[in-house]
Amino acid sequence: MTPKNNLRFGVIGAGRIGKIHAENLATHIPGVELAAIADVDLKAAEDLAARLHIPKAVDNYQAILSDPTIAAVAICSSTDTHARIVSEAAQAGKHIFCEKPIALDLKTIDAALDAVDKAGVKLQIGFNRRFDPNFRKVHTMIAEGRIGTPQIVRITSRDPAPPPISYVNVSGGMFLDMTIHDFDMARYLSGSEVEEVYTAAGVMVDPNIGEAGDVDTAVITLRFANGAIGTIDNSRKAIYGYDQRVEVFGSEGMLQAHNNTPDNHVYSNADGVHSPKPLYFFLERYAVSFIAELRAFVQSIQENSSPLVTGIDGRIPVVMGMAAKKSYLENRPVKLSEITAPVLQPD
């Protein structure tokens, strides 16, 4: 009964983010048929497949890549496997939706992007916040010129609770795991590239994070190519919940995006006027944008248009994260050009 022309998808990785994408592909994305789920833990793949009524569950993602009826994959496996699977999927002619980051080193990223380029398949990186209605609206109004020339960009991004130390140990550190979304947001909102960063950071939330060689609180200054100045502030623990706001100030106005809340009630009593905290964490806050990014990816395949988050868009925030870390370690402004030769050129 499924229409013949549906786009058949495979999901690779049945962990937290894989489950979200699989569920969305199974129910919320018109024109798509979720055909198979792979996970190194076969049981995890089977459980997810059963719950979503998906016929095929495998422990080897190559079974998906070699299935000629499958046109696209969503790569949701562990970070250290992203780049390899991107390359193999590209060689197999699959369109690719890949979670961020592509990899934690540039040589690996560039090799994967090169494979995609050669295969001519679509690649979209999972910077889902670009599809959040608040940030999208701010982006669009800036692009329309509603605030004139952007001059000051402020991004607040604070998590409700720090990740387990086990995750800190493999994530690449806060700049590459958490701030990477804000680096992408800075580019997305300003429409300009960042040339230099300066990081002030420290360990204020949990000394174990410091012992693991990472920081948990940071304020990062960005210098944009167009002259604008930006600042990102991060904390691993905001006691009032997930704090995700942006503000862009320009010559003709200012645009802000406030937090979303579970409801819009207001309670007034003898103590004051009380309203709800932000939605708890990214699963709640970005539920809509996880769906929207997949819809956009499917549309770019169907219409053969450029994905809204390209491979280069996936690479640059990694460079920014590396520069931010170097700036922190050396306590000085660091140019992105110190980190990386121009993209896709021989180094």
Of 19-38, binders to a copy of itself (CB under 8 A) are 27-28
Residues in 3-22 that interact with a copy of itself by CB under 8 A: none
Helices 106-119 & 311-330 angle (0-180, nearest 10): 170
**Residue 326 CB, nearest approach to a copy of itself (Å):** 14
Helix (H) or strand (E) holding 22: helix 16-27
- Figure out which of the listed residues 21, 94, 130, 158 binds a copy of itself, where binding follows CB under 8 A: 158
**Residue 282 CB, nearest approach to a copy of itself (Å):** 16
User: Which range of residues in 39-47, 129-137, 167-175, 180-188 is near a copy of itself by CB under 8 A?
Assistant: 129-137
CA–CA distance, 49 with 183 (Å, rounded to integer): 34
**Residue 207 CB, nearest approach to a copy of itself (Å):** 12
Residues in 287-306 that interact with a copy of itself by CB under 8 A: none
Q: Pick the closer one to a copy of itself by CB: 62 or 231.
A: 231
**Residue 312 CB, nearest approach to a copy of itself (Å):** 25
**Residue 157 CB, nearest approach to a copy of itself (Å):** 11
User: Which range of residues in 80-88, 103-111, 148-156, 301-309 is near a copy of itself by CB under 8 A?
Assistant: 148-156
Angstrom distances, CA of residue 4 to CA of 29, 56, 133, 200, 311: 16, 18, 32, 55, 30
CA–CA distance, 309 with 323 (Å, rounded to integer): 21
- Figure out which of the listed residues 194, 218, 320, 339 binds a copy of itself, where binding follows CB under 8 A: 218
Give the length of the chain.
347
Q: Is 115 among the residues that bind a copy of itself (CB under 8 A)? A: no
Span between the terminal Cα atoms of the chain, in Å: 52
Residues in 173-212 that interact with a copy of itself by CB under 8 A: 198, 200-202, 204-205
| DSSP letter, residue 304 | T
**Residue 241 CB, nearest approach to a copy of itself (Å):** 8
DSSP 164-179: PHHHHHHS--HHHHTH
Q: Is 322 among the residues that bind a copy of itself (CB under 8 A)? A: no
> How many beta carbons lie within 10 A of that of residue 114, not counting itself?
14
The torsion defined by the Cα of 115, 118, 124 and 126, in degrees rounded to 10, comes to 10
**Residue 342 CB, nearest approach to a copy of itself (Å):** 23
Is the separation of the CB atoms in 64 and 70 below 8 Å? yes
Q: Pick the closer one to a copy of itself by CB: 268 or 345.
A: 268
* Burial category of 62 from C-beta neighbours within 10 Å (exposed 0-12, middle 13-18, buried 19 and up): middle
Helix locations, 92-164, DSSP H = 106-119, 133-143
Write each residue from 253 to 282 as x if it is in contact with a copy of itself (CB under 8 A), else as -, in one continuous string.
Answer: xxxxxxxx-xxxxxxxxxxxxxxxx-----
